[in-house]
Amino acid sequence: MNIEVPDWSTTELDVMRVGLGFVVIRMFSGIQTFRPSGEAPFPVGIARLLDLRWAASRYAVRWMQYGAYAAALCYAAGLVVPFALLFLAAAALVEVSFRSSYGAVNHGQHLLAVVLVAQAAAMALWNAAAQWDWNLSHVLADSQQATAVWWAIQAIVCVYFTSGLSKLLNTDAHWIRRSPALLLSAYGRIDTDEMVAKGGWQTSRRSDALISWLFDRATLAQAVFAAGLFVELAAPIGLLGKIALTGIGIALIALHKGNRVLLGLPFPEFQWLVFIYLVNLPQFLR
């Protein structure tokens, strides 16, 4: 079985570009929700090397937001794409590092940062190879944008596989056996949902019954969580071709839907990015 970089039509690539622009705007429109000040108690990533306290100021937030909106629109429109991507990758890195450094780890936005960095790196390498005639035909696709998409897909698949592998490594491979304990955090989430203004509470009460039912059936709970783990571990199969990618994409979205019901974690950014790059609906409209 041979693997080749998939062949995407111009329409597919355009839809992916517009889709990513939408996800970026969605992320940056909500970045003010957690803005602590003072010294970062848990510096991560670039915050270990650079002082990111400037990112707490309203002025910096506004500048980052408007810059991201402009860059996302340029990117979606196909204008100055490499520069737009560089700005977005840098802004996402700063934002996610800043928030994580104050304890608000958000892996949903983390994935977006990974995708943006992968795309920026792909564009930079593709342009360098074109400029200096490097022969990187196995790593790079025919066009700059197809290369960026291929790298983004590999990055997304890697994130899921890493997550699955972490579960095995951190439990000496006993994760499925221990997984019913995850239902405990679902009870905590129901408490949290009860205090939102409206809506979420009723949904939580409905899933409360399912969680209690599963809690009394450990083997069934293990089987449910095992299905999720196997979807994560099987994610690399998607790299075999476009149809495999679509299948894995649908399975991953189903995994997130299940997580929403059982653990209260929707991870919308993950679902959007999987839908855009892995499911890739426009391929069926040709």
Q: Give the nearest distance from C-beta 230 to another protein in angstroms.
A: 6
DSSP letter (8 states) at residue 192: H
Q: How far is the CB of 285 from another protein (least distance, A)?
A: 27
Fill in the DSSP letter of residue 45. G
- If the CB atoms of residues 65 and 100 are measured against another protein, the closer one turns out to be 100
How wide is the angle at C-alpha 239 spanned by C-alphas 126 and 175, nearest 5°? 125
Nearer to another protein, 73 or 239 (CB): 239
Region of 50 on the Ramachandran plot (φ > 0 left; ψ -120 to 50 alpha; else beta): beta
Q: What angle do CA 100, 116, 129 make, to 5 degrees?
A: 135
Q: Which is nearer to another protein, 193 or 269 (CB)?
A: 193
Give the nearest distance from C-beta 161 to another protein in angstroms.
Answer: 7
Between CA 232 and CA 159 the distance in angstroms is 9
Inter-axis angle of helices 218-234 and 200-215, nearest 10: 110
Q: How far is the CB of 92 from another protein (least distance, A)?
A: 8
Pick between residue 61 and residue 77 the one whose CB is nearest to another protein: 61
* Smallest distance, another protein to C-beta of residue 187, A: 5
* Choice between 133 and 216, CB closer to another protein: 216
Write down the residue that tokens 């994580």 correspond to.
100
Q: Give the list of residues 6+ apart from residue 216 with CB closer than 8 angstroms, or none.
A: none
Within 10 A of 136 (CB to CB), how many other CB atoms are there? 12
